[in-house]
Structure 1
Amino acid sequence: MDGRDVAVSVTGLRKRFGDGPEAITAVDDVTLDIETGSIVGLLGPNGAGKTTLIKSILGMVLPEEGTVRIRGVDLHDRPREAYAHVDAMLEGARNDYWRLTVRENLRYFATISGVDPDSVSERHDRLLAQLGLTEKADVPVRDLSRGMKQKVSLASVLAGGAKVVFLDEPTLGLDIESSRTLQRELRRLVEEEALTVVLSSHDMDVVETVCDRVLVMSDGEIVADDTVDALLHGTDLHHIQITSGDLDAAIVSTLRNRFDTISVESRDRGARIDVTTDSDGLYELLDRLRAEDVTLERVRTIEPDLEDVFVDLTTVEGRDR
């Protein structure tokens, strides 16, 4: 043992759908540990296996191979004990009873988690306040806006005091301020109550802001597992913005065909083009511009963000994995 406090441990997990040559391997020999008191982001393009992985960990999908342990308890041997302190908010699922009020939902979900709702009433009050739901506490969920319903779903997941929480697109439908409030509350819960969160999202800003660590999936495999800072500073990507009056349509077309072109802005004379490439590609780009007698008016280097890193990790020669 290395002394770490591991909340979720997955070893050799594999899940296939279908048989024969048409079979699809959705999760391919995934092994990972998630430490207690951390927020781990799970990223991947559509079809990468994220949802299948989460559902396999939650026991909603039965994998062909591998083991899952929650707080040291084997899911296969003792499922009830393993899931005693686990909850989830999955995209597309109804996490609340819309005929009940907001507070009634919190009490209900605490009860089905095996917790006396009266014993956690202060926790519910705090959740309502932190998520801006206090004034709506006695309003039926069906009468709330989409963003409010999303916040009620999160509050319901946390109502029973779950120690391990899976959140799928938790900020979907929220305005900017509501999203920031939710992110702050997640960080507070993690830091103050040793909550462990696995967060799947397409919102790179959310992942970059709240996550201690990021897992990137592609073709059912984990292709990256590191901190946000390490992923951002460990990439060989260069985001270059070039402005020149010599960038005519033919040259721009050539650059589009060869490089990952983010955007092109036509100007009265020439154009401004944004390109993402690695070190070798950067040298090739400069050589091509020199060969075309392009005079550079302005060259700007932009540090890559998490989205740039994600695209680089999940593509091969410009094509999705």
Structure 2
Amino acid sequence: MEKIIEVKEISKNYLKRKTKEMITAVNDVSFDVHRGEVLGLLGPNGAGKTSTIKMICGLLQPDAGSIQINGLDIQKKRLKALKHISAVLEGNRNLYWRLTVRENLEYFAGNRGRSRKEVKFEVEKLLEQFRLKEKEHELVNGLSRGMQQKLAIAVALLANTEVILLDEPTLGLDVEISYELREILKMIVKEEQRTVIISSHDMPVVQDLCDRTVIINKGTVVVDEKVENLLKLFETKAYSVKLGSLLSSDQELQLMTKFPLSSYNRGVHQGTVTVNLEKSEDIYDLFDIFKKEGTLVESIDRTAIDFEQVFMQIVKGEKQYAMV
């Protein structure tokens, strides 16, 4: 597939004001974004993800390495490179609060050199798609957070760039609005075939929308793989064990020590253990814990796994997984 963004060995260091200590936020990060794909750029708080996003958007300069957007080096040809990307950054809604919904769409399209006449049809379409038609003449500062977020994304789409970067698009939204926005984004991605980068802690968004994910932890890339491959990989290691009796406190401690990402649901007389086994032979260690106090195993089944579990497994495991 054709590359539209190339991130090559970028690093970013910060100097602590009080201690003058140098902190490495991003350390030799490299990945590509292919034209027409939806990429999830993920990482826990403090992992270096936000610094990476700001460097891609031209808001920070890397201390080392390079970023190319559509073949243009963002440090050497910044303005030309940034014409190919629009962004909605968390905490910055990219909107004028004293303009109406429609006025915001027309104003920011004008900033990108597009006339009101040129974007007339697109504005109408976006108002309908994002269910903002009834609010088109209302001031932005009177809208709900969900409406403001939908408008910010519509503004980014109207810029007509090849790449759209969405940073935490569902943050702070209630479940209903979050689901609605997810469905709208799925429709947009399917219809327009644009390249989209999504940074989110909302794992259902990643699982629903993203083709591939790059996970950054402690300033480095720990995973660069298709979402479906990650789900398949971890699904083969996820088991649910139904027990005929309860675990003792000592057994629970052993379970959590040996399998820190496992869970134990205690019933009245029975319990269920959900565990991810890194190696097939780990099942013997699991059964040794049960055997020690004669705990009966009634059934063992492979379980379905969602992307949130995959993400936590990767981040807490603090290791790079070899993908197959």
**What TM-score comes out, normalization by structure 2 length?**
0.89
Deviates more, 1:269-278 or 1:215-224: 269-278
Instruction: Using the TM superposition, give the Cα deviation of residue 68 of structure 1 relative to its aligned residue in structure 2, in angstroms.
Output: 1.0
Distance in 1 between the 2:48 and 2:39 partners? 16
Distance in 1 between the 2:207 and 2:297 partners? 33
Match of 1:36 in 2: 35
Match of 1:10 among 7, 10, 13: 7
Instruction: Using the TM superposition, give the Cα deviation of residue 317 of structure 1 relative to its aligned residue in structure 2, in angstroms.
Output: 7.0
Distance 1:73 1:171, change over 3 A: same
Identity in percent:
38
Match of 1:200 in 2: 199
The answer (yes or no) to whether the contact 2:245–2:270 under 8 Å persists in 1 is yes
Cα displacement string for residues 107-129 of structure 1 (whole angstroms, at most 9, x for unaligned residues): 11111122113211211111111
Unaligned regions of 5+ residues in structure 2, if any?
320-324
Match of 1:272 in 2: 272
Distance 1:139 1:223, change over 3 A: same
Instruction: Using the TM superposition, give the Cα deviation of residue 308 of structure 1 relative to its aligned residue in structure 2, in angstroms.
Output: 2.1
Match of 2:232 in 1: 233
RMSD between aligned residues: 2.2
The answer (yes or no) to whether the contact 2:214–2:225 under 8 Å persists in 1 is yes
Distance in 2 between the 1:31 and 1:305 partners? 26
The AA in structure 1 aligned to 2:15 is G
The AA in structure 1 aligned to 2:109 is A
Match of 1:302 in 2: 303
Distance 1:74 1:185, change over 3 A: same
Distance in 2 between the 1:244 and 1:261 partners? 22
Describe the SS at the equivalent of 1:315: helix
Instruction: Using the TM superposition, give the Cα deviation of residue 281 of structure 1 relative to its aligned residue in structure 2, in angstroms.
Output: 2.9
Distance in 1 between the 2:191 and 2:268 partners? 56
Describe the SS at the equivalent of 1:313: helix
Distance in 2 between the 1:239 and 1:201 partners? 27
2:282 is aligned with 1:281: yes
Distance in 2 between the 1:128 and 1:70 partners? 29
Distance 1:233 1:261, change over 3 A: closer
The answer (yes or no) to whether the contact 2:251–2:289 under 8 Å persists in 1 is no
Distance in 1 between the 2:306 and 2:189 partners? 25
The AA in structure 2 aligned to 1:250 is D
Deviates more, 1:284-293 or 1:230-239: 230-239
Distance in 1 between the 2:12 and 2:210 partners? 26
Instruction: Using the TM superposition, give the Cα deviation of residue 135 of structure 1 relative to its aligned residue in structure 2, in angstroms.
Output: 0.7
The answer (yes or no) to whether the contact 1:241–1:302 under 8 Å persists in 2 is no
Deviates more, 1:196-205 or 1:265-274: 265-274
Instruction: Using the TM superposition, give the Cα deviation of residue 240 of structure 1 relative to its aligned residue in structure 2, in angstroms.
Output: 2.6
**What TM-score comes out, normalization by structure 1 length?**
0.90
Instruction: Using the TM superposition, give the Cα deviation of residue 293 of structure 1 relative to its aligned residue in structure 2, in angstroms.
Output: 0.9
Unaligned regions of 5+ residues in structure 1, if any?
none
Distance in 1 between the 2:54 and 2:166 partners? 12
Deviates more, 1:152-161 or 1:248-257: 248-257
Number of residues of Structure 1 aligned to a counterpart in Structure 2: 315
Instruction: Using the TM superposition, give the Cα deviation of residue 261 of structure 1 relative to its aligned residue in structure 2, in angstroms.
Output: 4.9
